[in-house]
A and B are shown apart, each in its own frame.
Chain A
Amino acid sequence: MIAWTIYITFAGAALLLFLPRVCARWIALLATVAGLGLDAITFVRTPIAELTQFTTIVRVPWVPALGMNYHLAIDGITLTMLLVTGVSAVSTVLFSWDVEHRQNEFFFWLLLVVAGCYGVFLSADLFLLFMFYELVIVPKYFLIAIFGSTNKEYGAMKLTLYSFFGGMLVFAGILAAYVTAGSLDLNQLARFQFPAELQAWAFPVLFLGFGVLAGIWPLHTWAPTGHVAAPTAGSMLLAGIVMKLGSYAGLRVAMNLFPQGFHMWSRWIAVLAVVGIVYAAAVALRQRDLKFVIGYSSVSHMGLVLLGLSAATALSVSGAVLQMFSHGVIAALLFAVAGRMIYRRTHTRELDVLAGMNLSQALPFAAFTFVVASAASMGIPGFSGFAAEITILIGAWKTYPVAVWITGVGMVLVAAFTLRALKQSFFGETRVSVQQGQEAVETDLNEQQSITLAEKIGACILMFTTLAIGLYPKILLDRIMPAVESMRFLK
């Protein structure tokens, strides 16, 4: 049943090509809500015991001559990723409710990205997984190049070429695995004993290839420019789900297939992860554009995911998966506030300009949302960010204590830049009266100025999710941990 998430989303995209534009947003909403609904039903109805192994749900021969199957499977990790995909997708559509320019096309590309992401998470065939993985690249380009803002063509091209470069590395790694083992079935490959010399070169090629999409330092530079150039929906999807494709595939394919190669290189991945965490946080501290701040914070948070993966204990890897979920929700929320609630109404994202606007008075709901999102992003207890990061750090302590110390410093920096952005954007020092603040907003404002219902619903979904998982992370960890423990790379 869960396979229908893919079909429904693709069907929605196909429908958009033929139907008149009046119902485009409703079709997109319907498709994404149906996807989220299926995720939720599966989440509730599948017993935890069935989520320990990567269990096949669909398997149809596709190209028998080359051993390709249309093969989907699910376990706890996949289910977690499906949930964050569903949540992000629905809120993304809600935050794009007033897109008027080439509406059908906009939602077409958007649904293609979502469908591709569902496909990657569910694929149990290496070729199928790679196909969905590459499928996501081009819609992102159009989403950004047509509907984006600042320097959009440059940002879109950079992002696409980086993704495709990563894709080519992945291609080489996948071919090596396929040709050596003679199979494309992920479950079979995960049991195959690859020769050590193959793992020594294939693992880094594969992991770096996936890492490009996960924003691994120093191949992260597409992320900030891409996020800034993208329309709100684009940044939400990019940070919310697309970056997770990289880390998920790194875990599912690179680490699970080549455990020896992983152990040879895990130390270096940890180094890159820690550098990424600290470096991106430090850079974010100096940014003037609110979206750049959030873009770099994404890189920093994804660094934590990579650290969790590289530490290779059951706890740290589970924490990494939880962090993928948590960051997907929080980043979507942050970008929604910055791109939709603030930028659409003030037409600026410059922190210095925003500081003079006293937006907390003009847009109280936006201020509230941003405070919640910032708190979650900083890792305040009670939000999902805290639950995930503490799990990663505890898990990684045994393997890389030094890395955990440095990460601690990095998290202080994260708190610093988040507070700075929060203060400047909503609680500016320049004392202006409420009226002046209102005017500053109104003068630029041709659209509706109060926060719309769609935006409120979207924000509430995301806030509820981060709070719920923050208060009761066990509900996800119970499903993630057994699935992680059944993987063979654990130390």
Chain B
Amino acid sequence: MKSAGSTMSYLELLKLVAPETIVVITALAVLAIGLATSRGRSSATIPFNAAQGARNKPVVARISFAVALLGLALATWAILMLPKHVALFGGMLVITPLTSLFKIICLVLAFFTVLISTSEKARRDAAEYLALVVFATVGLMLLVGSEELLMIFIGLELLGLSLYVMTAFDKTDVRSAEAGLKYFLFGSTSSAFTLFGISLIYGMSGTTSLTAISEKLATATVQPLLAVAIVMTLIGFGFKIAAAPFHLWAPDAYQAAPVPSAAFIASGSKVASFVVLGKIVLIGFAPVRGSAAWHAMIAGWSPLLAALAALSILVGNIVALGQRNVRRLLAYSAVAHTGYTLIGIIVGGRDGFSAALFYATIYAITLVGAFGIVAVVRQETGGDDIANFSGLFSRSPLLAGCMSIFLLSLAGIPPLAGFFGKFYLFSAAVHAGGNYGLLWLVAVALFGSFLSLYYYLIVLKAIFVDEQLLPDSRQADDVMPDLLARTAIALLAAAVLLLGLAPAILTTPILAAM
């Protein structure tokens, strides 16, 4: 491993952070395009003239979409050019196959988020919105590529601030503003918790680098102060990944935010948070792991996470049973899926962590696709309740087929990716803990999956069985044909099917990167 000191030249540093740099430049470029073209109307105090604005918007929107997509693609290429192993500044910036893989995954998720946002009604300030998505992506990349608490915190904040604004971005909908505020308040409180936890850990270990913390903690016992530090840090991440009982912001944010924002919160933000959470507990807190086995509970972070996981699975699935809005339903199911993924982190080790990351990734892919369909349906029928999905099959067999692939994958039906993901996770869990110690958690998870099929089927019933209830209120003045969005959705559905039939495509690189 190359260890670089202060003697390193800026040029070399720039090479190593080339992907992040490209993404930042992309964001700024997109922002500049938006600013340059919106000068005229911001100066006017008269009400915005929709007809006039609509004429030049498509061009601006298209250019900014193209720039954003190009930038994300370039950054992906730049990651492939990076050296294999580098650690800079005591872990502040780390490049390993694992971080590179997940940076690429985050970029791909952002790419598809941008693609599905093309189906949204032409909104004012499309460029600003895209710039926020891209800034959030930088946050994801910093999060994934760091093994140092301060840098992780900066990444979290950059990501969080972009997401709060993205949630509140729909200026025509007061619920969007409410959701944004709620998300902001919860999010900033959780950041405070995380920061407090981090400061306690720094106080005890005198360092913020994860590997150094691990060495310091190796000799320590779980004293009250350390317990407080662990709990505080985990609470912060509990908010981020929407684990029960810290999930209360999620349903509102998922329901009222602009659809692509919700997709991004559910996908990119979640994957990156799981990577970081895994690193913190598995590297930094490795010595104070404890045990979550039912016959040998030992204090540490793993029983704590096990409680969060079990609670998330039960709360998420049970509350989802009663939902009538697809986005709220997806939010509660997201809570449940957080629970499943946490099982992998609790198991730890190569098997557990790779299973968790595999599951988080396919979950993210699935949710971007599902939200893409929600966006199209919302565009066509003006809402996203289950009733709005009725008769989707007769309107668009392609979307109906894709939605069934996404939802059945979430339910864990073969031959889709979710089925293999669950098998991988649960087999790792049964394997771990000695003498089937984690079987209780697997039993809870299996019971949860059983419940979940019901509400996914309710949505599918509306799509395939019910007649169309609502009149088709598709607007004629679609600014952009949503061909791009539909292609993106079909690609994601194909990916979910492919990863179910040939999961080795993703498991091999993840396992190789461990």
Say whether A325 faces chain B, with CB atoms less than 8 Å apart: no
Q: Measured between C-beta atoms, what is the minimum distance from B434 to chain A in Å?
A: 12
Q: How far is the CA of A146 from the CA of B391 in the complex (A)?
A: 12
Whole-angstrom distance between the alpha carbons of A62 and B461 in the complex? 33
A48 close to chain B: CB less than 8 A: no
> Given contacts A138-B413, A168-B449, are A65 and B504 in contact (CB under 8 A)?
yes
Docked-complex contact B431 and A179, CB < 8 angstroms: yes
- Determine if B508 and A65 form an interchain contact, defined as CB atoms under 8 angstroms apart: yes
Q: In this assembly, does A141 line the interface, its C-beta being within 8 Å of a C-beta of chain B?
A: yes
Query: Does B232 touch A at the CB level, under 8 Å?
Result: no
Contact of B415 with A176 in the complex, beta carbons under 8 Å: no
A172-183: CB near B (< 8 Å → 1, else 0) gives: 100110110000
Does A137 lie within 8 Å of B426, measured CB to CB?
Answer: no
Chain B hits for A131, CB < 8 A: 414-415, 419
For B447, give its contact among A63, A145, A168 (CB under 8 Å).
Answer: A168
B165 within 8 A of A: no
Q: Which residues of B contact A282 (CB under 8 A)?
A: none
Question: Is B457 a contact of A176 with CB atoms below 8 Å?
Answer: no
Are A168 and B450 CB-contacts (below 8 A) given A145-B464, A145-B465? yes
Q: Which residues of A contact B465 (CB under 8 A)?
A: 142, 145-146, 153
Give Cα A138 to B415, complex, Å: 11
Q: How far is the CA of A41 from the CA of B157 in the complex (A)?
A: 67
Q: Which residues of A contact B446 (CB under 8 A)?
A: 168, 171-172
A127 lies within 8 A of chain B by Cβ: yes
Q: How far is the CB of A7 from chain B (nearest CB, A)?
A: 13
Which residues on B sit within 8 Å (CB–CB) of A157?
A: 454, 457, 461
Q: A160 contacts the other chain (Cβ, under 8 Å)?
A: yes
Q: Is A475 an interface residue (CB 8 A)?
A: no
Query: B497 CB to closest chain A CB, in angstroms?
Result: 12
CB neighbors of B among A399-442 (8 A): none
Report how far A132 CA is from B423 CA in the complex, Å.
14
**What CA separation (Å) do A153 and B460 show in the bound complex?**
12
Question: In the complex, what distance in Å separates the CA atom of A210 from the CA atom of B237?
Answer: 40
Among B419, B443, B504, the residue within 8 A (CB) of A63 is B504
Q: In the complex where A62-B504, A141-B457, A164-B453 touch, is A178 in contact with B427 (Cβ < 8 A)?
A: yes
Question: Is A192 an interface residue when CB atoms closer than 8 A count as contact?
Answer: no
Residue of A nearest to B426 (CB): A175
- Inter-chain CA distance A66–B457, complex, in Å, is 30
Binary flags per residue of A127-151, CB closer than 8 Å to B gives 1, else 0: 1001110110110011001100000
Chain A residues closer than 8 Å to B436, beta-carbon distance: 176
B419 CB to closest chain A CB (Å) equals 7
B503 interface residue, CB < 8 Å from A? yes
Chain A: CB-nearest residue to B423: A127
The residue that A171 contacts in the complex, of B426, B461, B464, B507, with Cβ under 8 A, is: B426
Interface size class of A (residues with CB under 8 A): 20 to 34
Q: Contact at A63–B503, with CB atoms within 8 Å?
A: yes
B408 within 8 A of A: yes
CB neighbours (8 Å) of B408 from chain A are: 138
Asked if A64 lies at the interface with its beta carbon under 8 angstroms from chain B, I say yes
CB neighbours of A175 from chain B (8 A)? 423, 426-427, 430, 442
Tell me whether B511 and A145 are in contact (CB under 8 A). Answer: no
Query: Is the beta-carbon distance between B414 and A164 smaller than 8 angstroms?
Result: no
Closest to B458 in A: A157
- One digit per residue, 1 when the CB lies within 8 angstroms of any chain A CB and 0 when it does not, for chain B 415-437 equals 10001100110110011000010
Indicate if the CB atoms of B427 and A135 lie closer than 8 Å.
Answer: no
Q: How far, in angstroms, from A391 to B301 measured CA to CA in the complex?
A: 59
Chain A residues closer than 8 Å to B454, beta-carbon distance: 157, 161
Q: Does A165 sit at the interface, judged by CB under 8 A?
A: yes
What's the Cα separation between A335 and B424 when bound, in Å? Answer: 40
When the two chains form the complex, which single residue of B414, B426, B461 contacts A153, counting CB atoms closer than 8 Å? B461
CB proximity of B453 to chain A, nearest CB, Å? 5
B450 near A165 with CB under 8 A, answer: yes
Interface SS, A side: helix
Residues of chain B lying within 8 A (CB to CB) of residue A164: 450, 453
The listed residue (A65, A130, A134, A172) touching B443 by CB distance below 8 A is A172
Contact of A134 among B419, B464, B507 (CB under 8 A): B419
Closest approach, in angstroms, between the C-beta of A179 and any C-beta of chain B?
5
Contact B430 A135 (CB under 8 A): no
Measured in the bound complex, the distance between the Cα atoms of B197 and A35 in whole Å is 63
Q: Which residues in A have their C-beta under 8 angstroms from that of B508? A: 65
Do B504 and A64 touch across chains, with their CB atoms under 8 A apart? yes
- In-complex Cβ contact of A176 among B413, B430, B511 (8 A): B430
In the bound complex, CA of A178 to CA of B465 (Å) = 38
Looking at the assembled complex, report how far the CB atom of B58 sits from the nearest CB atom of chain A, in whole angstroms. Answer: 34
Within 8 A of A (CB), among B486-514: 502-504, 507-508, 511
**A residues 58-116 touching B (CB-CB < 8 Å):** 62-66
How distant is the Cα of A79 from the Cα of B130 in the complex, in angstroms? 59
Greatest chain B CB density within 10 A among A66, A132, A137, A176 is at A66
Interface centre among B436, B443, B457 (most CB of A within 10 A): B457
Report A-chain residues with C-beta under 8 Å of the C-beta of B453. 160-161, 164
Smallest CB–CB gap between B426 and chain A, Å? 6
Per-residue B-contact encoding for A195-207, CB less than 8 Å = 1, 0 else: 0000000000000
Residue of B nearest to A148 (CB): B465
Q: Report which residue of B414, B430, B454 has the largest number of chain A beta carbons within 10 angstroms of its beta carbon.
A: B414
Q: How far is the CB of B506 from chain A (nearest CB, A)?
A: 10
* B438-449 to A contact mask, C-beta < 8 Å, 1/0: 010011001101
Closest B residue to A152 by CB, please name it: B465
Pick from A137, A142, A161, A179: contact of B430, CB under 8 Å: A179
Q: How far is the CA of A142 from the CA of B453 in the complex (A)?
A: 14
Residues from chain B with a CB closer than 8 A to the CB of A168 are 446-447, 449-450
Q: How far is the CB of B512 from chain A (nearest CB, A)?
A: 10
Complex alpha-carbon distance, A63 and B457, angstroms: 29
- In the complex, which residue of chain B has the Cβ closest to the Cβ of A132? B414
> Per-residue CB proximity of B338-379 to A under 8 Å, as 1/0?
000000000000000000000000000000000000000000
Tell me whether B413 and A137 are in contact (CB under 8 A): yes
Asked whether A146 and B426 contact (CB < 8 A) given A63-B503, A65-B508, the answer is no
For residue A172, which residues in chain B have a CB less than 8 angstroms away from its CB? 439, 442-443, 446
Complex Cα–Cα for A141 and B453 (A): 11
- Closest-by-CB residue of B relative to A167 is B450
* Least Cβ–Cβ distance between A133 and chain B, in angstroms: 9
Find the A residue at minimum CB distance from B394.
Answer: A102
Q: Is the CB of B461 within 8 A of A134?
A: no
Report the separation of the CA atoms of residues A165 and B508 in the bound assembly, to the nearest whole angstrom. 31
What separation, in Å, do the CA atoms of A390 and B309 have in the docked complex? Answer: 53
- How far, in whole Å, are A145 and B404 apart by their CA atoms in the complex? 15
CB distance from B307 to the nearest CB of A (A): 21
With the chains together, A176 CA to B454 CA distance in Å? 26
Smallest distance from the beta carbon of B458 to chain A beta carbons, Å? 9
Interchain CB contact (< 8 A) of A179 among B413, B427, B464, B511: B427
Complex Cα gap A132–B413 (Å): 10
CA distance A138 to B457 in the complex (A): 9
**How long is the Cα–Cα vector from A171 to B442 in the complex, in angstroms?**
10
| Bound-state Cα–Cα, A235 to B508, Å | 43
Docked complex Cα distance between A187 and B129 (Å):
57
CB nearest neighbor in B for A64: B504
The minimal Cβ–Cβ distance linking B475 to chain A, given in whole angstroms, is 29
Against A, the Cβ 8 Å flags (1 = close, 0 = not) of B465-479 are 100000000000000
Q: Are B413 and A135 in contact (CB under 8 A)?
A: yes
The answer to whether B507 touches A63, judged by C-beta atoms less than 8 angstroms apart, is yes
- Given the complex, which residues of B lie within 8 Å of A63, measured CB to CB? 420, 503-504, 507
Q: Which residues of A contact B511 (CB under 8 A)?
A: 65
| Cα distance, A179 to B419, chains bound together (Å) | 17
Question: Can you report 6 residue pairs joining A to B where beta carbons are below 8 Å apart?
Answer: A141-B457, A153-B465, A157-B454, A160-B457, A178-B427, A179-B430
A62-B502, A171-B426, A171-B446 are known; give 11 further A-B pairs, CB within 8 A.
Answer: A63-B503, A66-B427, A138-B413, A141-B457, A146-B465, A153-B461, A157-B457, A172-B446, A175-B427, A176-B436, A179-B431
Give A residues with C-beta under 8 Å from B.
62-66, 127, 130-132, 134-135, 137-138, 141-142, 145-146, 153, 157, 160-161, 164-165, 168, 171-172, 175-176, 178-179
